[in-house]
Amino acid sequence: MNRWKKVAKKTPDTDRQVIAFSGDTESHHICLASFSDGKWWAGHRMELGDVTRWMDLPGEPKDFAYWRNRLSKWWGKRVQDAEDAGDWLKGWTSSNAQLGRKVVFYKDTSGKVITGLPENVPAPFGYQKIVCNSALEAERLSGLQRRQEQSEHRIEQERRGSIESEFQREIRSELHHKMGNARNNVNREFLRRALERNEGRRDPTAYERESYLHAEAHEDGH
């Protein structure tokens, strides 16, 4: 979007036509003008005085051919990017394929494997950097990392479940107590249904997880 420029700060660098603002806010004139030889000119070399601001002319409207050309270039780049990505991912279908972008893992003294940063970044203190040159190496370490994460996740779920089960036991005990001391059948039926729903309730926080490298997930359809 074009904006007014103050003449005191900047003037046009060529004698092209621009929109000039002359006068003050109470009495002013706006017209097409040009700036050359240190003066402002309107029309056929008619000198224009007291110009305080100016702005470039807006660009001409873009026709259908222009936007079609822009869209064609954009789509062509998208197609090329997809083809380049497909060529890179094909390396994962062969066990001896060499990777253009090497996958890096870190391993600590306990043998735990985590995904690392690019090859040029040093490993954190206490970790060994493992650079995978082939798809086979990357898939092997990715599988090891996945099994370790699943084991850690299962232990964490069991620990959380043991805490949750104690809460659930207390809730069921309280519902049984209130149902046995209900004042009428309506309250008793309400508590019975609440107990029934609680018994069949699935833990909404329980879930399974499985992580893949991006290329592995693409190949497996994830």
- Per-residue model confidence as pLDDT tens digits over 69-122: 777 787 778 777 777 666 555 554 545 555 667 888 888 888 888 888 888 888
Q: Is the pLDDT of residue 59 over 60?
A: yes
Helix residue ranges, H only, the chain = 64-89, 135-180, 185-199, 214-220
Judge whether 135 lies within some domain: no
pLDDT in tens, 122-154: 888 888 888 888 878 888 888 888 888 888 888
Q: Assess if residue 100 is contained within a domain.
A: no
Quote the pTM value.
0.39
Q: What is the pLDDT of residue 107?
A: 87
The token duo for 59 is 């660009």
- In angstroms, rounded to a whole number, what is the distance separating the alpha carbons of residues 87 and 152? 35
- 14, 30, 56 - which closes a domain: 56
Inside any domain, residue 138: no
Q: Classify residue 182: in a domain, yes or no.
A: yes
Full residue range of the structural domain in which residue 181 is found: 150-220
Domains contained in the chain, number: 2
Compute the CA torsion angle 112, 115, 121, 127 (nearest 10 deg): 0
Answer whether residue 116 is part of any domain.
Answer: no
Asked if the structure places residue 199 within a domain, the reply is: yes
Q: Which phi and psi (to 5°) does residue 77 adopt?
A: -70, -40
In 3D space, the residue among 82, 81, 86, 79 whose CA is nearest the CA of residue 219 turns out to be: 86
Q: What is the reported pLDDT for 94?
A: 47
Select from 19, 40, 56 the last residue of a domain. Answer: 56
Domain boundary residue among 30, 56, 82? 56
Segment 177-190 shows an average pLDDT of 83
pLDDT value for 44: 66
Mean pLDDT on 163-170: 78
- Does 207 reside within a domain? yes
